[in-house]
Every structure is written in structure tokens, then in C-alpha cells.
Structure 1
Amino acid sequence: MISPLIDIGANLGHESFGDDLDTVLERAKAHGVVQLIVTGASREGSQRALQLAQQYPGLLYATAGVHPHHAVEYTDEADAELRALHRHTEVKAVGECGLDYHRNYSPRPAQHKAFERQLQIAVDSGKPLFLHQRDAHADFLAIMKQVEGRISRAIVHCFTGEKQELFDYLDRDWYIGITGWLCDERRGQHLRELVKSIPAERLMIETDCPYLLPRNVHPKPSHRRNEPMYLAHICAELARDRGEAAAETAQASTRTARQFFALPDIEPRSEEGG
């Protein structure tokens, strides 16, 4: 029996899934993926994430937020839109939000403002944070400190950083999302060692599809689009690096994801013992 998996970061609103999403989801289920969180990373994308969650109830859930790349679109109107989205039960986390100094698609002051306003949504709603940080660690920690003790929980999604960043997050009791970056021998080799230090109750897995197709997946697809079916491959790689059985890693990450995002347990339960 395939261990059930939860993909906590799937950009299923991306145009590359426009023609075959049903097929993509069937392949995911065939590879053990039983629930998915659709990432909302812009005003339009967050609306789309909710639509998909409503279209596929019980299978898909959503986040709603504005990625730092899109921070310039964060207006008072955008804030009101996000707050309205978070009144829906299908929307499980605030974000994707944070800072990205790697490309600086939005000016840093705009990134800071958009991040701070979304942190306030998390404070007001009690929902967890779905965070993005790249090349902005010090400022990221400084802004997060403003809401210390006032947010319910937070995950740094698609972690690709170094040891000090990881331990800074774990010291704050934040959760860590690992993607197929782990499988990239050019950029992700350092993660092979670091993932051993992540407590099982703080670790979740994600594809970040359609991005970050695992480079060592076989057979290689004819295209470069990542999709949720490859979560099982990421789980197996992660388990090997942690010295665990893949089933153990899957069970722990699924349990953690269900608790973090307040997802229903859809697995059949034994009737023994009442």
C-alpha cells in the first residue's frame, strides 16, 4: 500500500496545467498524493487557488497571499481582497508572502510593506503563514520579529538555505518545506546533510510544481514541467538522506501537514478498540 502524501505547495493555477489538470490529479493520486495545497501567490492567483479548492473539495485546499515578486500590486484594495478570501474555510494559510532579494522584481520597500500587511492578516485571522525567503534572511527575521508571539504557526516553504538559516527557523519553532531542490546536484547538495537536523514534527514536503522538477527522476519526462506525482520521489530521496524508511517519512510529513493546515484525516480508520 502506498503511504499517503500531502503536497503542501502546488502552483496548480499555473497556465501549464490549464488543459490537463484532471489527468495531473489522477496521476498524483495514483502515486499516493491524497491532499494538496494550491499556492496563492498574487491577487489573481489567490482567487484562482480558491476556485480550484472549491472545484475539487476534499482534495485541494488553498493559500491566499502576494509573493514578494508581486509586492507592487499590494494596495488597500488587495488587502481587502485577501481578507475576503481568508473568510473561506478552503483557504488554509496566509501567503505565499515574504522577501526575495535574489531577483528584486519588486522594490525592497514595497516587499517590506506587503509582507508586514500580510503578517497582520495572519495575526487577525489566526491562520498559519506560508513564507518565502531568498537572499533576505536578516530583514526577514527582523520583520517576523514584529509579530513574535502573535502568529499561530509558520512554515518557510521551499527551503534552500544554509545551516544557520535552518537553525534560526527551527529555534523559532517554524516549520520547513523541502522540495525537489534536494535532488539538484548543482545547487541542492548541501540539503542532503541539513535535512537530518529537521525534527519530523517540523518537516513537510512539496513539489512547488510546475517548477523544480527533480533532476534525478527516472524516467525523465519529455518536458520540464514538475507535477504532484513526483512528490513520492522527493519523499524517497528525503527519507534516504534522513536514514528513514520512505513510509516513515511519508507518515510523519502527512501527519504534520494535516495538523499545520487543519486538514481532515481522510484515511480509513480501523474500527478496532471502539
Structure 2
Amino acid sequence: MDLIDIGANLTHESFRQDFDDVLDRASAHGVGRMVVTGASREGSVHALEIARASGGRLFSTAGVHPHHAIEYDDATDAFLREIAVQPEVRAIGETGLDYNRNYSPRDVQREVFERQLRIAVDLGKPLFLHQRDAHHDFLAILKRYRDRVPAAVVHCFTDTGEALRDYLDLDCHIGITGWICDERRGAHLRELVKLIPADRLLLETDAPYLLPRTIRPMPKDRRNEPMYLAHIRDEVARDRGESREALTESSTRAAEAFFGL
């Protein structure tokens, strides 16, 4: 059974020159399908376009990342509603709150997050969520909508045990990336990942970001790509005391159910 990378930023410019090779390497390393993240109006269009051209290997999300919340207007909202009904688009997002960098004012981030939550409610789509240094506000807003959307994944989870329990109590899925391989910042995840039910644990690279620090040899360009999902799978399986085969099957089944694949 092949893995599914539930979060890959394949619209990133670093993939333009070798996009087909990236997909081929992913397949060679047991990653059969990928969900391409839409994080802006333009990025969501691009994600949809490459998903359409992939012959069923790629799917996409449609949303506006909190970094770009200041760009969100009524036209953006209408546009997201239009493209989100396309069959390749399997979730609303990447949306949420990011108080770490505050590229958009916090009040604007909260408003735009709610607007995208309403899109998910109206269209019956799952949520692809981002939260950094904003757990209290993020959780309070999400609670108001969670029972009206079919599913929600907290993508690239890096937070505390308390935050993890809050999300699990809301029946959220949890996305684990190569952050777990970072001995400086992600060591706590090696214990927390044991607490995630198998049917709610999803794996992702967040490529080209978050290259696992335990890869040897390290690629010279330090670019992450979907083929390294197999490395993340191996690390998580060891931390959970599972076989690679068992984690491959459970995470793939969970991703298929979440995205309706």
C-alpha cells in the first residue's frame, strides 16, 4: 500500500524545474498520492491546475493562509466558493491563525478564518487548518463550527500535549511532519504522537519546507519533497512502536476517509 502526503506545497517555485521528477521520486519511495496545499487565491488556482493535470495522483485544497489574510475580500470569498466545488478540491484551507509572525493583523486573521470556516460549512468540505502561537483564539473559533463540518485536520502539528488533547476532544485529525525529526524543537512530539488514534493520524511533508533533520545524507539544496514522507513514516512508526506496514496502512486509510479519495 502506498502512502498519501496530505500536505505538499508543490506550487512552490523550487519545484518548477523538476516537477515530474519529484513525482517520480515520490512514487519510487512509496508515495502514491499527494494533496497540494492552496494557501492564497493564486496558489489555490495553481494547486487545482496541477491536480487536474496529474491523472488522479494529485488533489488540492483551496484557501487563504493567515499570512495572506490581509488580502482577503468579498471577491476572494466568492472565488474560493466557486473553485472549492471542483472535484479535485478536497478541503478548505490552508486557513487558521498565526500569531508567530503576524504578517496580517490578528483581528483580520480571526475574521478571515471565520469566513473560510463558513465556506466549509456551506459546502460540506473538510478543513485543512494552520495554527501557530494562537491556540486559545484558534480553539475558541473552531469550537463554534466543528460540529458543522465533516472533518478537520490540524496540519503540521507542533504544539503541546494540552493542545493535542484539545484537538482530539474535538475529533480533529492531526498532521505530523518532519518536525518530529528536529531534536531542537520537535523532540516532544515523539511522545505525543503515541496519543493520536490511528484513524486520526495523517502524515505530510509540508514540502519544500521542514526537511527532516535525520535524513542521511542530507540533500545539498535542503529542499524537502514528497519522497521523504517514507522517512517520516519510519520515524513515527518507531516512536509509536508500530511496524512501517501498519502505519502505512492506517495513515493511508485515514487520509482516504478524510479526503474522500
2:256 is equivalent to residue 242 of structure 1: no
Other-structure match for 1:162: 160
SS at 2:205 equivalent: coil
Other-structure match for 1:216: 214
Other-structure match for 1:151: 149
Answer whether contact 2:205 2:229 (CA < 8 A) is retained.
yes
For residues 256 and 137 of structure 1, the distance between their equivalents in structure 2, rounded to whole angstroms, comes to 24
Other-structure match for 1:226: 224
Please tell me whether Structure 1 or Structure 2 has the larger radius of gyration of its CA atoms.
Answer: 1
SS at 1:23 equivalent: helix
Percent identity for Structure 1 against Structure 2: 64
SS at 1:35 equivalent: strand
For residues 118 and 170 of structure 2, the distance between their equivalents in structure 1, rounded to whole angstroms, comes to 18
Tell me by how many angstroms 1:87 deviates. Answer: 1.6
1:49-128 alignment runs, 5 A limit: 49-128=47-126
Other-structure match for 1:183: 181
SS at 1:149 equivalent: helix
Q: Matched residue pairs, number?
A: 261
For residues 85 and 8 of structure 1, the distance between their equivalents in structure 2, rounded to whole angstroms, comes to 19
| 1:4 paired residue among 2, 5, 30 | 2
Tell me by how many angstroms 1:219 deviates. Answer: 1.6
Other-structure match for 1:33: 31
What amino acid is the match of 1:51?
E
TM-score, normalization by structure 2: 0.99
What amino acid is the match of 1:206?
E
Moved more, 140-149 or 41-50: 140-149
For residues 210 and 81 of structure 1, the distance between their equivalents in structure 2, rounded to whole angstroms, comes to 26
Calculate the aligned-residue CA RMSD, in Å: 0.6
TM-score, normalization by structure 1: 0.94
Other-structure match for 2:192: 194
Tell me by how many angstroms 1:57 deviates. Answer: 2.5
Structure 1, gaps ≥5 residues long = 264-274
SS at 1:193 equivalent: helix
For residues 208 and 147 of structure 1, the distance between their equivalents in structure 2, rounded to whole angstroms, comes to 25
For residues 145 and 200 of structure 1, the distance between their equivalents in structure 2, rounded to whole angstroms, comes to 23
Tell me by how many angstroms 1:114 deviates. Answer: 0.7
Tell me by how many angstroms 1:151 deviates. Answer: 1.1
Q: Which runs of structure 1 show a deviation greater than 3 angstroms over 4 or more consecutive aligned residues?
A: none
CA displacement, residues 5-35 of structure 1 (integer Å, 9 cap, x when unaligned): 0000000000000111000000000000110
Structure 2, gaps ≥5 residues long = none
SS at 2:148 equivalent: coil
What amino acid is the match of 1:88?
Q
SS at 1:97 equivalent: strand
SS at 2:59 equivalent: strand
